[in-house]
């Protein structure tokens, strides 16, 4: 079972994401609504996976990805956004993130599939 840190400024989305992921076997060990909060929580809970929104109020997730990776180098970071993957393809490729998951497709199996792609590299 992977421990997940949810990073999104929308509390309603975090609640839905928590329910979807926990129903599918993930364990949500923390939440944050900002990059600053995410860095603090990541250091505290040491997640296996960080589901990272790209549009955050204090900084964008793409620029914060390397900082999160430095705090929890063992964590797999997966970007999540309401926009499509095609808009972030280059950013994902240039970042330490392992993949991208549109919010509209978020589910435990979809997250597991992104993580499995990382494991096949």
CATH assignment of the domain containing 102: 3.40.50.2300
Give the mean pLDDT of 29-43.
98
Per-residue pLDDT tens for 44-100?
999 999 999 998 999 988 889 999 999 999 999 999 988 766 666 777 788 899 999
Selection from 94, 93, 52 nearest residue 76 by Cα: 52
Rounded to two decimals, the pTM is 0.92
Q: Is residue 4 part of a domain?
A: no
Spatial contact of 38 and 5, defined as CB atoms under 8 Å apart: yes
Structure tokens at 5: 């840190």
Radius of gyration of the chain (CA): 13
Q: Is residue 68 part of a domain?
A: yes
List residues bridging with 52 in a β-sheet: 7, 79
Q: Is residue 2 part of a domain?
A: no
Q: Is residue 36 part of a domain?
A: yes
Per the structure, how many domains does the chain have?
1
Q: Is residue 87 part of a domain?
A: yes
CA distances from 33 to 93, 108, 110, 113 (A): 24, 21, 22, 25
Q: Is residue 104 part of a domain?
A: yes
Q: What gap in Å lies between CA 101 and CA 121, rounded to an integer?
A: 18
Domain that holds residue 13: 9-119
């Amino acid at each position: 079972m992977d421990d997940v840190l949810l990073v999104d400024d929308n509390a309603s989305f975090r609640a839905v994401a928590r329910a979807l992921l926990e129903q599918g076997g993930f364990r949500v060990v923390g939440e944050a609504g900002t990059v600053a909060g995410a860095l603090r929580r990541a250091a505290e809970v040491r997640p296996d996976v960080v589901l990272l929104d790209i549009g955050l109020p204090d900084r964008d997730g793409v620029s914060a990805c390397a900082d999160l990776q430095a705090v929890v180098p063992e964590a797999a970071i997966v970007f999540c956004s309401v926009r499509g993957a095609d808009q972030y393809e280059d950013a994902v490729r240039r970042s330490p993130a392992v993949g991208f998951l549109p919010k509209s497709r978020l589910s435990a199996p979809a997250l597991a599939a992104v993580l499995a792609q990382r494991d096949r590299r």
